[in-house]
A and B are shown apart, each in its own frame.
Chain A
Amino acid sequence: MDSIAGTRSQLVWVVNISVIFLVVLWIVPTGGLLVSSFRDRDQIAVSGWWTSMLSSEANVRIRSEAPDTQVDENGIYVISGNVFGDESGEVIAFGTSSRAPTAYLPGEHGEMSKGRTMVVEANGDYRIESPEPHSGSRGSRIFFRTIEPPRFTLENYEKVIFAERLGQSFLNTFAVTIPATVIPILVAAFAAYALAWMEFPGRAILIAAVVGLLVVPLQLAFIPLLKLHNSIGIGKEYLGIWLAHTGFGLPLAIYLLRNYIAGLPREIIESARVDGATDFDIFRRIVLPLSFPALASFAIFQFLWVWNDLLVATVFLGNNEQQLVMTGRLRELLGSRGGDWEILAASAFVSIAVPLVVFFSLQRFLVRGLLSGSVKGG
């Protein structure tokens, strides 16, 4: 007995560690995006996100105060200030030229052009001395090496969350997503039931056709379908995009649901038929409640797909101010040439929130509790 208990607890350990390993493997990439969403663009472009959590030595370049702040100290013209501005820090080394940004130690005298010298102290105080008055309108560049503490910002999220008219786009997305999730489920569930439990000619062909239609690339359908929508007067309205998403989502819905419904125990359905229940009753009272796991899992995927979709929305709904969906609005923040990865990162996490809530709330339906009960009972 002991040895069995021993292997069992060992097994629990193995399982836990494997899951931890798997989970870490899966979230590290996303973690990179999450960390990046709290950094500004300049940081993202020059250092790895994993280094951002630690203090690191870095070379920094700033500009000294402008010449108009110079003070005449007995014939020596001085510009002074602190390289850290109002904050504090420690200078490890400094330089006067881009060629040798760390040539001098704090307190040493750095040579500059035109006989000027620069001193930077460890606390960041700098002093540029010149025998002649400083000229020009801008300060000199000061290069120094310092230990940079981790630096994070909420600016990216501010930009995304307070983007103009994001609220309206959020509502538009719901107006697209909810019907575009519920309608295909209803339509597919009925069809799946018919394909699984009703006898009629051509059933196998229809099942095969559904599988075949899974592979039709959406891009092919855009032009003929939009033409159709325009000609029958749907135009670019919600009805059109619901129908489009429903059409595109149906094959997967029917395929998944049919497979699940066909796996329901034959006895339940047969006995209901014997009791005189019509197919509509059987569907409503028995099949629908029993199929919750499949319905919920398809609902999750269809919801995600529609939520994250931009292509279908821009084609069938258009992208004027009143109709723009959230993905479109967030895309606008990236600018004409893209590449604002910090905004992209923040918006990815803003838009992931709702799908995750949906996943959490539907997760409990993924268990086929009802069915095992009814099998036992029957």
Chain B
Amino acid sequence: MKLSRISALLAAVAMAGGAQAQDLLFPPGEDDRFNWSSYEELKSMDLAGETISVFGPWLQTDKEFVENTIDYFEAATGAVVEYSGSDSFEQQIMIDAEAGSPPNIAVFPQPGLANNMAARGYLSPLGEETAEWVRNNYAAGQSWVDLGSYQNPDGETELYGFFYKVDVKSLVWYVPENFEDAGYEVPETMEELIALSDQIVADGETPWCIGLGSGGATGWPATDWVEDLLLRTQPPDVYDGWVSNEVKFDDERILSAIDLFGDFARNEDYVAGGAAAVASTDFRDSPQGLFSSPPQCYMHRQASFIPGFFPSDVEVGVDADFFYFPAFEGLDLGRPVLGAGTLFAITKDSPAARAFIDFLKSPIAHEVWMAQKGFLTPHMHVNVDTYSDHTLKSMGEILLNATTFRFDGSDLMPGAVGAGAFWTGMVDYTGGTEASDVAASIQATWDTL
């Protein structure tokens, strides 16, 4: 009698926590763009009464989106997933793991930290089956497997990170009607892009808005520029060597990429506000110049998330659009794409946590977020029509059509370099320090590690 009452109570609690099929964002079976059969398949996992804690960096709208997506897992399996987000994720996950109270699943905003934690034995390997799945179902699958594979404390390499939610960085944002007013064409090659920049200067205007400010992370937007330019001036293996420090930071080839960035950012005529304003302008404020009247600048190179910082009346796809940050025609290096992404890893193993990773493999887990906002995926078996707008869809296509996809290099370098010396170095460089001095000092930091 008593026992049954308690179990009824527990069931009620579980019901209250878990999502019900009827309050899912897109009712199952209704919209035929979605792969509902993959949702039905999830129901074979019965996880009633299980709780999974997920800890990640997403807050506010992103948090809402991920929770809407997780709802499908909860509704199908009966598990309760508690997602919590924090802006100091990197610090907290380390503290929690070391202190012995980690969540079941951690969502890493970049691989460097996951690599570090795997090396200390805080992550559970996902297994060869998952690696095989990624290889076969993600565009450029092997590269995603490589990015998620790290050495464990015994020195063996295993897959620890499952990539889900990707950002494309090689994008240039512009206002199509400003281009029309001035008679500019979207450039197809880097040569044309530079010619266009010069044309804009000749017309008495300013081509670029560049801002490196980001509070405690000031400098990172410049690292993206350098990475993108390196991929456009050198073959990908130079990039890979650079990321692993086989190609030194003060190598000629790296220096020329830094100086190419300098051709944009240190050129008084090229940047709104002049070169001195580049380092201190906040990256979240800098796209504003595109939309002022008259425009302060015509182009802004930034990742796919930046529309979140456009003025509120700007409709992406109408008032603002993007083009692919082009490659040099003269150098035969294909269409390289720079990107970044978040990866899921198991920090406290349980069958339910494994089931959650399986959920992330199902097309529905991708499509639900695609149909919301700010989500790109390399998953080849999802319906790209579920992207909520054509801007996202064409970004997704850039991702799927890339001849070379490379992950944000500064995220792959050791934290002290990629989130320290590299940032500082680029800030110093835009301030006027020679590229060779900057690179030598970054390399010096790397050498002490």
- Whether A and B touch directly in their complex, counting CB atoms under 8 A apart, is answered as yes
Contact assessment for A99 and B182 in the assembled complex, using a CB-CB cutoff below 8 Å = yes
Most chain A CB inside 10 Å of its own CB: which residue of B87, B88, B309, B312:
B87
A222: chain B residues at CB < 8 Å are 95, 99
Cβ contact within 8 Å between A59 and B305: no
Per-position contact with A for B260-292: 1 when CB-CB < 8 Å, else 0? 000000000000000000000010110010011
Q: How large is the interface on B (under 10, 10 to 19, 20 to 34, 35 or more residues)?
A: 35 or more
Say which one of B1-9, B57-65, B395-403, B419-427 lies at the interface with A: B57-65
Cα distance, A268 to B61, chains bound together (Å): 63
Note all chain B residues with C-beta closer than 8 A to A67: none
Q: Given A59-B293, A97-B181, A138-B318, does the pair A332, B63 have CB atoms closer than 8 Å?
A: yes
Q: A135 an interface residue at 8 Å Cβ cutoff?
A: no
Residues from chain A with Cβ under 8 Å of B96 in the complex: 226
Stretch at the interface among B78-86, B365-373, B406-414: B78-86
Is residue A17 contacting chain B, with contact meaning CB distance below 8 A? no
| Complex contact B177–A223 (CB within 8 A) | no
In the bound complex, residues from chain A placing their C-beta under 8 Å from that of B175 are: 98
> CB of B153 within 8 A of chain A?
no
A34 to chain B, nearest CB (A): 20
Contact B100 A40 (CB under 8 A): no
Residues of chain A with a CB closer than 8 A to B85's CB: 319, 332, 336
In the bound complex, CA of A229 to CA of B282 (Å): 40
Whether B101 sits at the interface, judged by CB under 8 Å, is yes
Query: Given the complex of chains A and B, what is the CA–CA distance between A59 and B177 in angstroms?
Result: 17
Alpha-carbon distance A231/B99, docked complex (angstroms): 9
- The smallest beta-carbon distance between A86 and chain B, in angstroms, is 16
Digitize B63-76: 1 where CB-to-A-CB distance is under 8 Å, 0 elsewhere: 10000000000000
Q: Which of A302-334 contact B (CB under 8 A)?
A: 310-311, 314-315, 318-321, 324, 328, 331-334
**Chain B residues proximal to chain A, CB less than 8 Å:** 53, 57-63, 82, 84-88, 92, 95-96, 98-101, 175, 177-178, 181-182, 205, 215, 282, 284-285, 288, 291-295, 305, 308-309, 311-313, 318
- Judge if A338 is at the interface, Cβ distance under 8 Å: yes
Task: State the total of A-B contacts with C-beta under 8 angstroms.
Answer: 110
Task: Say which residue of B84, B88, B312 sits within 8 Å of A321 (CB atoms).
Answer: B84
Report the minimal beta-carbon distance from B328 to chain A, rounded to whole angstroms.
Answer: 29
Given contacts A227-B99, A230-B100, contact A99 B181 (CB under 8 A): yes
B-chain residues with CB within 8 Å of residue A319 when the two chains form the complex: 84-86
Contact indicator A335/B95 (Cβ below 8 Å): no
B292 and A46 within 8 A (CB): yes
Q: How far is it, in angstroms, between the C-alpha of A27 and the C-alpha of B146 when the chains are bound?
A: 54
Q: Which residues of A contact B61 (CB under 8 A)?
A: 335
Tell me which of A226, A314, A320 contacts B99 (CB under 8 A): A226
CB contact under 8 A between A336 and B57, given known A59-B292, A99-B181, A314-B86? yes
* Cα–Cα distance between A339 and B215 once the two chains are bound (Å): 9
Q: Report which of A101, A143, A226, A331 forms a contact with B87, defined as CB distance below 8 A.
A: A331
Q: Quick check: is A273 within 8 A (CB to CB) of the other chain? A: no
How far does the alpha carbon of A378 sit from the alpha carbon of B175 in the complex, in Å?
82
Interface residues of A in 194-233 (CB under 8 A from B): 222-223, 225-227, 229-231
CB-nearest residue of chain A relative to B289?
Answer: A46
A sample of 28 cross-chain residue pairs with beta-carbon separation below 8 angstroms, ordered by A number, consists of A40-B312, A41-B311, A41-B312, A97-B181, A98-B178, A98-B293, A98-B295, A99-B294, A223-B99, A226-B96, A226-B98, A227-B100, A230-B100, A236-B101, A315-B92, A320-B53, A320-B84, A321-B82, A324-B84, A332-B60, A333-B60, A336-B57, A336-B63, A337-B284, A337-B308, A339-B282, A339-B284, A339-B285
Q: Chain A nearest CB: distance from B89 CB in Å? A: 10
Residue of B nearest to A58 (CB): B293
Q: Are A336 and B181 in contact (CB under 8 A)?
A: no
Indicate if A24 sits at the interface (CB-CB under 8 A): no
A241-262, CB under 8 A of B: which get 1 and which 0? Answer: 0000000000000000000000
Find out whether the CB atom of A101 lies under 8 angstroms from the CB atom of B294. Answer: yes
Q: Please measure, in the bound complex, the distance between the C-alpha atom of A237 and the C-alpha atom of B309, giving whole angstroms.
A: 37
Central interface residue in A231, A324, A338, by most chain B CB within 10 Å: A338
Q: How far is the CA of A223 from the CA of B100 in the complex (A)?
A: 9
Known: A98-B175, A320-B53, A337-B305. 16 other contacts (CB 8 A): A59-B294, A98-B178, A98-B181, A98-B293, A99-B182, A101-B293, A143-B293, A223-B95, A226-B96, A226-B100, A227-B98, A235-B101, A324-B84, A336-B58, A336-B59, A339-B284
Interface size on A, residues (CB 8 A): 45
Q: Is A267 an interface residue (CB 8 A)?
A: no
Nearest-neighbor residue (CB-CB) of B98 within chain A? A223
When A336-B57, A337-B284 are in contact, do A98 and B84 touch as well, CB less than 8 Å?
no
CA distance A332 to B308 in the complex (A): 16
Chain A: interface secondary structure? mixed
Q: Chain A residues near B57: list those with CB within 8 A.
A: 336
Instruction: Kindly supply a per-residue 1/0 record for chain A positions 75-106, scoring 1 wherever the CB is within 8 Å of any chain B CB and 0 otherwise.
Output: 00000000000000000000001111100000
Q: Which residues of A contact B309 (CB under 8 A)?
A: 337, 339
| CB-defined contacts of A45 to chain B, threshold 8 Å | 285, 288, 311
Residue contact A334 to B87, C-beta cutoff 8 Å: yes
B174 CB to closest chain A CB (Å) equals 12
Q: Please indicate the chain B residues that have their CB under 8 angstroms from the CB of A109 in the complex.
A: none
Contact present for A335 and B62 (CB under 8 Å): yes
Q: For the complex, what is the distance from the CA of A324 to the CA of B58, rounded to whole Å? A: 15
Which residues on the B side are within 8 Å of A98 (C-beta)? 175, 177-178, 181-182, 293-295
Residue of A nearest to B374 (CB): A336
Give the docked Cα–Cα distance between A334 and B308 (Å). Answer: 12
Whether the Cβ atoms of A314 and B88 lie closer than 8 Å is yes
Q: Mark A44-71, 1 if CB is under 8 A from B, else 0.
A: 0110000000000001110000000000
A42 within 8 A of B: yes
Q: Which partner residue on chain B sits nearest A101 by CB separation?
A: B293
CB closest chain-B residue, reference A41: B312
Residue of B86, B215, B305 with highest tally of chain A CB at under 10 A: B86
B59 and A335: CB pair below 8 A? Answer: yes
Closest 9 CB pairs of A and B: A226-B99, A339-B284, A59-B293, A335-B60, A97-B181, A227-B99, A42-B311, A101-B293, A98-B178
A337 to B287, CA, bound (A): 15
Tell whether A165 is near chain B: CB-to-CB under 8 Å. Answer: no
Taking the complex as formed, is A368 at the interface, i.e. its CB lies under 8 A from any CB of chain B? Answer: no
| Residue of A with least CB distance to B294 | A101
CB-defined contacts of B87 to chain A, threshold 8 Å: 331, 334, 336, 338
Which A residue sits closest to B286, measured CB to CB?
A45
> In the complex, which residue of chain A has the Cβ closest to the Cβ of B287?
A45
A335, closest chain B residue (CB): B60
What is the bound-complex CA distance between A305 and B291, given in angstroms? 41
Q: Which residues of B contact A61 (CB under 8 A)?
A: 291, 293
Instruction: Confirm or deny: A141 has a beta carbon within 8 angstroms of a beta carbon on chain B.
Output: yes
Give the CA-CA distance A100 to B205 in the complex, in Å.
12
B373 to chain A, nearest CB (A): 12
A60 to B313, CA, bound (A): 12
In the bound assembly, the distance between CA atoms of A331 and B84 in angstroms comes to 13
